[in-house]
Copies of this chain bind each other. A is one copy, B any other.
Amino acid sequence: MYDLIIIGMGPGGYEATMTALRKKLNIAIVEKGKLGGNCLNRACIPTKYYRAGAHLSEKLEKAQLYGIDLTVSNVSFTKAKEGKDKAISFLRKSLSQLLKAKKTPVFKGTGRIVDKNTVEITYPDGSKEEIKGKYILIATGSIPSSVGGIVPDGEYILTTEDFMENLEQLPENLVVIGGGVAGCEIGYIASAYGSNVTIVEIKDRLLPIPSVSMEVSKNLQRKFKKLGIQFLLNTYVKDYRIENNKIILLLSDGKEITADRVLLSVGRKPNTQNIDSIGIEKDERGFIKVNQFLQTNFDNIYACGDVVSSPMLAHVAAYEARIAIKNMFEEKKEKIDYSIIPWAIFSAFEIAHVGLTEEQAKKKGIDAISGYYPYTYNEKAVDELESEGFVRLVFDKNSHRLIGGTVVGIEASEIIHTIAYGIKNKMTAEEIHSFVYFHPSLSEIFIYATYDIVEGKLF
């Protein structure tokens, strides 16, 4: 009997494996697809690869300001895909080599829990095998949702996964349904690599997410306009038809738009169908119910990642996995804590956030104030020719404690962690202001974003 069976080798399964191996546990992995799951093969990692290329191609327009004269003869998504595949297979290989070195068995089939200690594996050829474990971790992730009768067909209507894993050739005209995170990330990439992109969003702004402030949405919308990325707000797709190798979408305002391909990015749902035959409890949306220790209704079966009802983020899955393994094998149980979850988006801007926005704080009844400073006058941003962006720090007005922060612009996804540590450690505006930051860095913007609060306004 294994100490632990991990079903699903995405970011949750990976992190569980890393922790379990260091605890010298005897583990087995069940994974029906590629090691690394969606995150590595079809989501986070390919997205950031293409985004790095997209951003570089934008940057090239400024190269002559550095005295670099160059001519771009071709920008090819097809070739970028080769680079992407290479990068991802390097990462996947290093993972599989690690598992081999540790002699960790990987069962390459679909796992299903048939009693509280048994996972039945169904292989692609239909054959079955059962393995037994003291503990089981469900980390099977999520699959793309569809909406209003628009069903991905892998040809005209693509999921984000189709796009990120398999797409060889960009369509000339791409319509993206859904202006959320994935829609804004992939819309930017497709535009940079040469597609005409139109994003259709049912709500009144891009990134219509509570933790994204209106200020951020408006910044991104302005940038999209500059880049020629179109977006239709307060709009949804009522119907569609295929004609002459094109897809024609009928919109809620009665207009039609024609595209070569449609990207459907309207969210994801937990991949929990057929996960068990023993009555593991799920909520009405299919998420596995867990307690604050990440235990299901079977005390030796835990779940983490997109299968549980928490933010659908790879790093949340990894965090949950670490906590789940601890709670299985350590004396002292640890409660899961979602209060400080930094996140980032890589679209035309890098956008990162942690904690509360001013709007969210006010809704919670917290008297909030905030400090703002743009990248415009930051010396590093100017030197990097990347002076679009800003930092906004949110404080409790009474205690001056840091409760949230947003960064838009280069390196936002790193800087956000300094803010996150500030929140974690209950730092005040005064402490943040009087800290020593390297010059020239972007992080020193924290001094300037807190000046008004600490020393009074300049004007």
Contacts and interface: CB of A to CB of B under 8 A. Distances in A.
Interface of A: 11, 18-19, 21-24, 39-40, 44-45, 48-53, 56-57, 59-60, 63-83, 86-87, 90-91, 94, 98, 101-102, 193, 313-316, 318-319, 322-323, 334, 340-344, 352, 377, 379-380, 382-385, 411, 413-418, 420-422, 424-425, 427, 433-444, 447, 451-452, 455-459
A379 B418 contact: no
A68 B75 contact: yes
Contacts of A334: 434
Contacts of A411: 411, 414
A288 to B, nearest CB: 20
B413 A438 contact: yes
Contact of A379 (B44, B380, B413, B414): B44
Describe A's contact surface by its main secondary structure.
helix
Nearest to A193: B67
Given A56-B63, A101-B459, A413-B438, 13 more contacts: A44-B379, A49-B383, A52-B385, A65-B80, A66-B80, A71-B71, A314-B439, A315-B439, A344-B438, A415-B417, A418-B418, A420-B435, A421-B427
A143 to B, nearest CB: 19
Nearest to A323: B434
A265 to B, nearest CB: 19
Contacts of A438: 313, 315, 342-344, 352, 413, 416-417
A342 B437 contact: yes
Stoichiometry (number of copies): 2
Contacts of A323: 434
Contacts of A457: 22
Nearest to A426: B425
Given A319-B436, A442-B414, A52 B352 contact: no
A451 B22 contact: yes
A417 B420 contact: no
A45 B440 contact: yes
Contacts of A79: 64, 67, 69
A21 B418 contact: no
21 contacts: A22-B451, A40-B379, A45-B379, A48-B383, A52-B66, A52-B383, A56-B68, A60-B68, A66-B80, A67-B74, A67-B75, A68-B72, A68-B74, A69-B73, A87-B382, A91-B377, A315-B444, A323-B434, A341-B436, A420-B437, A424-B435
A157 B52 CA distance: 41
B73 A70 contact: yes
A207 to B, nearest CB: 16
A81 B67 CA distance: 8
A425 B421 contact: yes
B441 A413 contact: yes
Contact of A436 (B48, B316, B443): B316
Contacts of A420: 418, 435-437
A315 B68 contact: no
B52 A384 contact: yes
Contact of A440 (B44, B65, B434): B44
Contacts of A314: 439-440
A451 to B, nearest CB: 6
B57 A68 contact: yes
A318 to B, nearest CB: 6
A174 to B, nearest CB: 17
Contacts of A75: 67-69
Contacts of A313: 438-439
Contacts of A49: 383
Contacts of A342: 436-438
A355 to B, nearest CB: 12
